[in-house]
Structure 1
Amino acid sequence: MSFAHMRVWAVFFAFLYLNIYGQRYTSTWYNIDNGLPQSSAKAIAKDKYGFIWISTENGLVRYDGISFVTFNNFKIDNLHFGMFIGDPVRDSITTLTNFQENKIIIKNRFPRLSKLTPGDRVSYTKGNQLVQRIANNTISSNFYNDVQYFIQLKSSKYIFREKDAVIYKNERGIETRISLPFTNEDLNSIFVLNETLFINDFQTRKTYSIHHGKLSVYDQPSLFNDPETKIYWQQITNQSFIINRNNIYIVEESPNGPSLKFLVKYKEIGSHSYYSMYYGKNFNNLYLGTLNNGLNILHLSNMYVARKEADFANNVSNASLPFSNNTIITEDGTEFGKNGIVHKYAFGNNDNYLMMYDNSGNILIRKRKSIIRFYKNSGYKKKDSTYIKEGFEDFMKSGNLYALSLLNSSRYQLQIFKKDQFTKPDYIYSFKSPVTAFFQYSEGHVLVGNNEGLYSLMLDKNTVRPLIKNISVKSIVKTKDNLIWIMTNKNGFYLFKDRKLVKMPNDRNNYLQSAHSILEDQQGFYWISSNNGLYKVPKKQLIQYAENRKSPVFYYRFTKKDGFTSNEFNGNSQPNAYALENGEFIFPSMDGFVFFNPAQVQTYYPDPKKIYIERAKIGNAETVYFNTVLDLKNDYKTADIFIDIPYFSNFENLYIEAKISGEEESDWEAVALGKDLKYTISNLSPGDYTLKVRILASPDGKYEEKAVQFRIEPYFFQTLLFKILLSIIFLTGIIIIIMLMTNLLRTKNKALKRIVHNKNSKLKETSLTLEVVKNDLQKETEYQKKLVETISHDITTPIRFIAMLSQKLHESDDVELQKKYFDSIYKSSEQLYQFTLNLKEYTELYKAENIFEEQEYPVNRILEIKKKLFWEIAKERETVIINSTETNINSRVSESILSAIIHNVIDNAVKNTFKGEISLNIIEDDQKIIIIIDDTGTGMSTEQIAIYMNLFKNPKWKTPSFKGKGLGLHMVIHLVKKINAEISFSQNFPKGTIVEITLKKN
């Protein structure tokens, strides 16, 4: 910072020593009794999602303005947390436990235990030197000269390791020594604003600033270097506070250097062990954390209460008048400004209910049965008195007319005057109850209200017409937009438009049933006082409601939390809320006058981007977090779904509605505003649901809507499957009943027919039935016979071979030869055993309807299996079986059928080949797979080949004929046709037979 910039400070600080009237505040304490897990608040920070985080000696606390959520169930023994470090903008807030044992990272609105690395430590030993990081400067910090301190910036750091100097280390690690009178004890006076370090010397009244290693000096006294100043700085929030003579300022950045914004005068700042501070600008809250008394939240307000501070003073405010551009005056002569009493006029004791100005600006006040007039031209020192008469109740003024209300016998008389001398009335009207409101609507038209209703008076015609009955009118107010409003004692308020009354909607608490006064500001809002709070409402919402009676109206309620001392406001027959010339509004209350500038009083609405629905509590269980869908067991009783909104103002101004859709539906309903914002689910039937939540996010009535899914698991008897099964059973039962009834009718029909038919018909029918059964039995017997023949055919060769080997074994005495025979018998028996294991599948070959497998299989696997089965038999005949297939060739044709075909073909080849060779091979192309089995045996004659090819080509041949020779080949031809394949027989040269089985790929 340059010296030119420092000179700007002098101009700014010159004004800081003037008398500053600060914002009012309301103070709310939180400790272990009402929200915190422990009565310490050692650090306070705000995350990027809008939540306030508090570090305590018993866990971390998240605060959303309504409820505190404590996190202390980490799997660690030490829950004593300290300062916050990190960067909220990057969604990373870090804190360490005592003695740097554990590290917690707050990310995505949730704290998690993280791995502690050496770089996370804020203090460590370097040689014999203790090195410690400074990330905040608390009001009661202690710094020692034998410790090396440093401040870590984004890419550089300041190091304090020697007297009369500060070391600046840039991002490249290059150190610069900056000479200035400094010791570690002066660290109590430092703060950092962005990347600039400020050091204040309270003794010499100088302020030093170091920006990227460059030193600037300001040698003039200021609040920064005032010996009465205490400094609080927290790096993670980039906030610094100056506390001077109970005045609290926040340091702000300006083009010419740091500036101070006055926040509040807080006389109790030194009364507690304050250790942490944070200013929430968006909601104008100042958070003050202590070491042992909990958290104190100051809500700063631009509303002021002017009242008498004397003991036993009566501060019930009734009658008043605007007096100057920024003051009012009461019936006892007290002139109030927003900061209290300005002057006291000697008005004496008067009735504190009525006062007004006459045409000359004199002040008129009622005193018993007389009117006292204080003259403006005498400075309100001179006065006179006009006696009215016995029964004098009230006087009023509207437009250019004056009125008196008097009790005359048993009737109440209204006297109307054109002049302010109250001598002879120009008009007289009689009513059953005293007139409480008087308003000149036009030159000859007057509105009058009393405890029985509202009346229209036409002066020229001397007529009285009731407009509405059975309401107690309090006052009639005309706002700047020339609209007329009727305020009542307990019937709400009305708009008088086109000579008709329109009842305005109440607030949700019905406090506006007793509305007092209404004022219009420059921003398009009405302000309405009531017996319980001050309300602000957009003017256009009331006008739209007056037009259609349907448009929603959203009232914003101000209470004692916003700066005034009583929620109960006051009102009488005369409008007693005013807009002063300086723009300030004044509303009388039961404890002083409330002053405020409506343009400076903020209303607070939730940030539409910061509404979270991610927590739930099922029954009495621990709170659970969910991302997109909340799953509820079918035995749940209740489930609370929390609505988390960072809203740090009066939560009574939240408008939150919710509805569910799904298996059951509901309309929009208001969410109760209590300790927590939550929607409770109970007694819902199982199914999938959507919870929609909408929140008023602006005074214009715009809602922000959020939706989450939740699912309630059904019991089995509540599932769709069960309902379908039950429906099927029910329908089946109905069908069965219908069928039984139909069969019963058919049976009766048949019984009648039987009587008609003769016995010959019965015998014929029986004979036909027996013939069918006989044919079926004959077919089944023939099938079983053929099946047994086929199986016998397939196992004959290996059994005959085993018998032959057994005979040779019996006849031989050669041990080696016997061993060879035993080995052959074993291998043949093993293969025969494997074959018989598949007999069940084999028996189904003729009946099989499905000729395709679900998955492909390698065909060469069948060749290899059959090769092993017949190997020993062929070997005994001095025949070699060769499988030439090298790669897998896959097919989906029924493996069991194809295996039976190949078995029979190889079996015939083995039987007819001696001292020869049997070759097995498979070839394929895009359309087909060809299995080739050739031998060098006796071979088939040309006539035999022709017979079998004719059998294959004959379309009428459906079942195999097992009579005569060639039993196996008959079965093969039948099975080949069954799988839609082809077979051919040809002679092998010089001798033998070639069999080709062609399988179609498509």
Structure 2
Amino acid sequence: MTKVSLKFFCYLLFLFLFAKQPVFSQSGPSTSFENPEVAQNYVMEIWNNSKGLPQNAVFAMEMDNFGYLWTATEEGLARFDGKILTVFDQDRNPEMLEQTYYNFFKTAEGIWAAGDRSIALLNKNIKTVIDCSEITDNALIRAIAENGNGGLLIGNQKGQIFSLDNGTFTALPFWNPDVPLEIFGFYQLKTSILLVGTSKGIYELNQQTSQVKLVTRKDFSALKIFGNSNRIYVYADDEGIFQLDEDYRLENIHSFKQSNMIYPPSLIVDSENSIWASSIESGLIKLTDGNTTQVYYPELQTYTVRKIIKEKENLYLGTLGKGFAIVKPAKIKQLNREVLKEKNIKPIYQTSDSSIWIGTKSDGIYRLKNGKINSWKDSDGLLQNRVNTIGSANRKVYVGSIAGVSIIDQQKGQIIGYLTKENGLQSNYVYAIFRDSKNWLWILTRAGGIHYIDEKGSFHQVELPERYSRTSFISIMELDNKQVLIGSVNEGFFRFENEQLIENQSLPLPMSENLIYSMYEDDAGDLWFATHGGIVLYQRGEFKILKKQNGLKSRSVFSIIADDKSGIWTTNNFGVQYFPNSELEKFKNNTEKDFFIGNNYYDDSHGMPNSETNGLIFPSALKDYSGEIWIPTVEGVGIIQSSSLKDEESKDFLFTWDYVQVGGQKIDIENEIVIPKGERIFQVTFSLIDIESPDRYSFFYRISKTSEEWHPINENRLLNFTGLKPGNYTLQVKVLTHGKIEQIYSLPIQVKATLFESLAFKILVLIAIGILFYFIVKYYYTIRMKRKLESMVNQRTAELSNANGKLKKALSEIERKNKVLIDITWHQSHLVRAPLTKAMGISQLLSQNIDFQEIDLSKDELEQELLKTLEQLDQIVRNTHSMSENIKNNEN
């Protein structure tokens, strides 16, 4: 047999040993509709394996220091914040040494969960797990307490107590009972003093003085020591429940006959000193001032309750096979009438004698008067069992249906007449009946039917323009100025003074949404219309629409009822919403399209028979003479008993950052998040702990450096981040309650950079890139310059080569010309020399005064000869010039 099976067998044996016949001093078992403790005044939520609990048998249950509700099951631990169950098992949390823990022990550090061979500290998450194999050999852990030195005291089934300090177990040296005993539990009195409940009495253990003393008789079997800050109680086997005073005197306050059906491990005491326990047979037992009351919840049937926690007005019940249940006081009550239970309720109306008349969809009409209930159906003469509207005048009750109006004598309770098309109605389909301040009874129907019976009893039909001959009129009210306002389908509202139509205004809605179910006039005289397309405000001739995106729970709004001039209650397909006047004024004055109106919202989780209320009836909700508001739903009547609902505080919650999951590890969030180097994908979770009203919150987030825009958060309260660059960020989560900002919570996030992402590395890279760029540029310009120089050299070389060729050619030409010139010069020099010599000789002769007879020529002849010689020389020069000109012309 496995340890789990053995423990389950021992548990059944334990139940059998305590299963004796019950005796109750006050009352026997009560149903939820007979006992004021648990009647229609409570709602119950059940959390089982279909909602996330690992397994439906709850071994232990406790709240940690953060406010989380922890449960222990055979398949692991579960943590609950009011909305989400988080499972801790060996698959998700490999640090756990075992899957199943059987007992919880609350300490200042948190909850110590005890299993077969280990203990685990629970406080928001699993803080630590300790292997206890050396002290749990065939001995279950029965008690854990702090030892005052930062360690623990652990008591086991064998009666041993060990001190755990710095990971080392040591048998407590001064714990030496003189008889064999079994330890049942510890009860901490002070930091250094605790009580040890055993099978052989109660011992006081003083850790400061290292002393132990027996404070009761040895044959006293203290199965359970429990209490609160005011009182300490002890449950003793076969003796009952005792109160333990400061001097350790025992006073029996509940005899064994009064408490013999109690399952001892479930015993608790609440803040009002009432003792709660589980009954071995079924239900709970409440012991108050010597009186015993059995409390039975039909939802739990015969499932045994193992653990009870009482916090304020809430009960938390851990069961065997049903999971855990939360029992809360109902904020919206249900009508305590079995005959109307789960019926589809239509109009509700109150007559002048304070009687409440309730119409149904298919079961006729009922009257509640002086605690009695009567009904009328078609078998009693009612035209039809489907009731659309109810009104009254002159001690007569008018019941409208799709077959006409049935008239009931209010005093005699008899059907005394009918109004149909045969009597003048425009249509037998009657939508609304209403009595105004003049005692006129208005009757609205299909096919353009507006009728009234005046104060004298005369029947009239209001004449309307032909265009309204097929209009359906479905709602009506009287304004403060005594004008009558009538709402229609598709044609807006009609304003009448006496029976004269003075105004018709169509609403700015699509045809499918243009239905006015209900109307309301505020203190400023502005009109509010409940329609199929939201709430429409008519102010100074202008319309403004409040829609789902502005805070409405549903597109359709069936009724608007003022509550003592402090706000309005509205009904819709999903429950009831309350809007304070301050928020309505904000809506009036706000021009933003994304305006969100603050409101409180209630549904079946707050006590309504069903969240779906009824519309297209009149009246679609009722505020009675005492101020209570009656809400018709598809499964019964909900009653808002007090205006205190609208003033409830929304601050009773705890926001906490939970854990960050990065690199396959879950890390508890303390003050900030540090994302290791190289990690770019991580998840951040948070919790908002409010078991009372977990559905009233909405969440938005943003993270600095990326966006200033707020993003909505889904219900799992988990944020995924991918690809954040290294650096410092601030994660902000905004909490809204019914649209109002409660708080903005911030969490620093540091994303570590790898070596390659560090600033120094980036600077080095930039420097290297700069140097590389410098050399690349330098190399580029060197190559470019080299190529340019080469090109220039080549070009210059080509130019020089060309010039050299030309030069050579020129030189050759010069040489040729020089040769020609030399030839010419040589030739001409020979031609010129002879006449020039001759001329020079003649000139010398003429210059000398010689005797011309000696040379056989006269002076004149010499002069003539000189002249001829010079002319000959001139001709030679001319010929030379002509030759040079010929050379030039040849070159050209």
TM range (shorter): 0.5 to 0.7
Match of 1:82 among 82, 102, 126: 102
The match for 2:829 is: none
Does 1:392 find its partner at 2:428? Answer: yes
Query: Per-residue CA shift, 1:672-692, capped at 9, x if unaligned?
Result: 12xx21122235555543221
**Whole-Å separation in 2 of the counterparts to 1:319 and 1:486:** 21
**Whole-Å separation in 2 of the counterparts to 1:33 and 1:476:** 40
The match for 2:324 is: 295
**Whole-Å separation in 1 of the counterparts to 2:320 and 2:213:** 37
**Whole-Å separation in 1 of the counterparts to 2:483 and 2:74:** 72
Does 1:134 find its partner at 2:184? Answer: yes
Instruction: Read off the aligned partner of 2:80 and give its amino acid letter.
Output: Y
The match for 1:658 is: 701
Determine if contact 1:478/1:485 at 8 Å carries over to the other structure: yes
**Whole-Å separation in 2 of the counterparts to 1:496 and 1:226:** 65
1:722-741 alignment runs, 5 A limit: 724=766, 728=770, 732=774
The match for 2:346 is: 318
Determine if contact 2:268/2:277 at 8 Å carries over to the other structure: no
- Once the two structures are TM-superposed, the CA of residue 366 in structure 1 deviates from its matched residue by 2.4
- Once the two structures are TM-superposed, the CA of residue 569 in structure 1 deviates from its matched residue by 0.8
The match for 1:643 is: 686
- Once the two structures are TM-superposed, the CA of residue 44 in structure 1 deviates from its matched residue by 1.2
Instruction: Read off the aligned partner of 2:113 and give its amino acid letter.
Output: T
- Once the two structures are TM-superposed, the CA of residue 276 in structure 1 deviates from its matched residue by 1.3
Does 1:529 find its partner at 2:565? Answer: no
Does 1:334 find its partner at 2:366? Answer: yes
Query: Per-residue CA shift, 1:903-939, capped at 9, x if unaligned?
Result: xxxxxxxxxxxxxxxxxxxxxxxxxxxxxxxxxxxxx
Instruction: Read off the aligned partner of 1:94 and give its amino acid letter.
Output: W
Instruction: Read off the aligned partner of 1:111 and give its amino acid letter.
Output: K
The change in CA–CA distance for 1:498 and 1:263 in structure 2 (over 3 A counts) is farther
Instruction: Read off the aligned partner of 1:84 and give its amino acid letter.
Output: F
Structure 1: unaligned runs, 5 residues or longer: 1-11, 136-149, 253-257, 759-1002
**Whole-Å separation in 1 of the counterparts to 2:409 and 2:63:** 59
Determine if contact 2:701/2:734 at 8 Å carries over to the other structure: yes
Match of 1:629 among 667, 673, 685: 673
Does 1:438 find its partner at 2:476? Answer: yes
- Once the two structures are TM-superposed, the CA of residue 600 in structure 1 deviates from its matched residue by 5.7
RMSD: 5.0
Instruction: Read off the aligned partner of 1:82 and give its amino acid letter.
Output: Y
**Whole-Å separation in 1 of the counterparts to 2:261 and 2:565:** 42
1:177-188 alignment runs, 5 A limit: 187=223
The change in CA–CA distance for 1:584 and 1:192 in structure 2 (over 3 A counts) is same
Match of 1:106 among 115, 122, 134: 122
The match for 1:706 is: 746
SS in 2 for 1:42: strand
The change in CA–CA distance for 1:648 and 1:525 in structure 2 (over 3 A counts) is farther
The change in CA–CA distance for 1:77 and 1:21 in structure 2 (over 3 A counts) is closer
The match for 2:589 is: 547
**Whole-Å separation in 2 of the counterparts to 1:704 and 1:617:** 22
Determine if contact 1:207/1:225 at 8 Å carries over to the other structure: no
Does 1:586 find its partner at 2:614? Answer: no
The change in CA–CA distance for 1:325 and 1:578 in structure 2 (over 3 A counts) is farther
Instruction: Read off the aligned partner of 1:213 and give its amino acid letter.
Output: D
The match for 2:659 is: 615
1:129-528 alignment runs, 5 A limit: 129-135=179-185, 151-154=187-190, 156=193, 187=223, 191-194=226-229, 196-198=231-233, 208-213=242-247, 215=249, 217=251, 225=258, 232-234=266-268, 240-242=275-277, 248=284, 265-267=296-298, 271-281=302-312, 285-306=314-335, 309=338, 315-322=343-350, 328-331=356-359, 332-335=364-367, 342-346=372-376, 348=380, 349-351=382-384, 352-366=386-400, 370-376=404-410, 378-381=411-414, 383-386=416-419, 387-389=423-425, 391-394=427-430, 395-397=432-434, 399-400=436-437, 401-406=440-445, 412-416=448-452, 418-419=454-455, 421=457, 423-425=459-461, 428=464, 430=466, 431=468, 432-441=470-479, 443=481, 445-459=483-497, 462-469=501-508, 470=510, 471-478=513-520, 486-506=528-548, 511-521=553-563, 524-528=566-570
**Whole-Å separation in 2 of the counterparts to 1:365 and 1:526:** 27
Instruction: Read off the aligned partner of 1:362 and give its amino acid letter.
Output: K
**Whole-Å separation in 1 of the counterparts to 2:587 and 2:445:** 38
The match for 2:717 is: 677
The match for 2:59 is: 42
SS in 1 for 2:589: helix
Query: Per-residue CA shift, 1:212-246, capped at 9, x if unaligned?
Result: 12647577x89993666666325999995145796
**Whole-Å separation in 1 of the counterparts to 2:677 and 2:353:** 67
The change in CA–CA distance for 1:516 and 1:458 in structure 2 (over 3 A counts) is closer
TM (normalized to structure 1)? 0.60
**Whole-Å separation in 2 of the counterparts to 1:734 and 1:417:** 103
Query: Per-residue CA shift, 1:566-619, capped at 9, x if unaligned?
Result: 221102252321223444321111111112324465898876883222423348
- Once the two structures are TM-superposed, the CA of residue 358 in structure 1 deviates from its matched residue by 3.2
**Whole-Å separation in 2 of the counterparts to 1:523 and 1:445:** 21
TM (normalized to structure 2)? 0.66
Instruction: Read off the aligned partner of 1:134 and give its amino acid letter.
Output: F
- Once the two structures are TM-superposed, the CA of residue 33 in structure 1 deviates from its matched residue by 5.1
The change in CA–CA distance for 1:200 and 1:97 in structure 2 (over 3 A counts) is closer
SS in 1 for 2:394: coil
The match for 1:20 is: 36
SS in 1 for 2:102: strand
The change in CA–CA distance for 1:456 and 1:604 in structure 2 (over 3 A counts) is closer
Determine if contact 2:48/2:323 at 8 Å carries over to the other structure: yes
Instruction: Read off the aligned partner of 1:561 and give its amino acid letter.
Output: S
Query: Per-residue CA shift, 1:42-93, capped at 9, x if unaligned?
Result: 2211122111122334443322221313154465644432322242xx3332
**Whole-Å separation in 2 of the counterparts to 1:693 and 1:269:** 38
Determine if contact 2:450/2:462 at 8 Å carries over to the other structure: no
Instruction: Read off the aligned partner of 2:556 and give its amino acid letter.
Output: S
The change in CA–CA distance for 1:129 and 1:78 in structure 2 (over 3 A counts) is farther
Instruction: Read off the aligned partner of 1:233 and give its amino acid letter.
Output: L
SS in 2 for 1:540: helix
**Whole-Å separation in 1 of the counterparts to 2:376 and 2:321:** 51
Determine if contact 1:307/1:591 at 8 Å carries over to the other structure: no
**Whole-Å separation in 1 of the counterparts to 2:178 and 2:477:** 87
Instruction: Read off the aligned partner of 2:507 and give its amino acid letter.
Output: I
Structure 2: unaligned runs, 5 residues or longer: 1-24, 133-150, 161-175, 801-892
**Whole-Å separation in 2 of the counterparts to 1:731 and 1:608:** 63
How many residue pairs get aligned? The number is 705
Does 1:97 find its partner at 2:115? Answer: yes
**Whole-Å separation in 2 of the counterparts to 1:723 and 1:398:** 87
Determine if contact 2:75/2:99 at 8 Å carries over to the other structure: yes
Determine if contact 2:528/2:537 at 8 Å carries over to the other structure: yes
With CA pairs under 8 Å and 6+ residues apart, which has the higher RCO, 1 or 2?
2
Determine if contact 1:403/1:415 at 8 Å carries over to the other structure: yes
Moved more, 118-127 or 44-53: 118-127
- Once the two structures are TM-superposed, the CA of residue 722 in structure 1 deviates from its matched residue by 7.7
Instruction: Read off the aligned partner of 1:330 and give its amino acid letter.
Output: I
1:856-895 alignment runs, 5 A limit: none
Determine if contact 2:105/2:111 at 8 Å carries over to the other structure: yes
Determine if contact 1:286/1:300 at 8 Å carries over to the other structure: no
**Whole-Å separation in 1 of the counterparts to 2:302 and 2:613:** 33
- Once the two structures are TM-superposed, the CA of residue 40 in structure 1 deviates from its matched residue by 3.2
**Whole-Å separation in 2 of the counterparts to 1:324 and 1:200:** 57
Moved more, 35-44 or 627-636: 627-636
The change in CA–CA distance for 1:392 and 1:108 in structure 2 (over 3 A counts) is closer
SS in 2 for 1:358: strand
**Whole-Å separation in 2 of the counterparts to 1:421 and 1:702:** 57
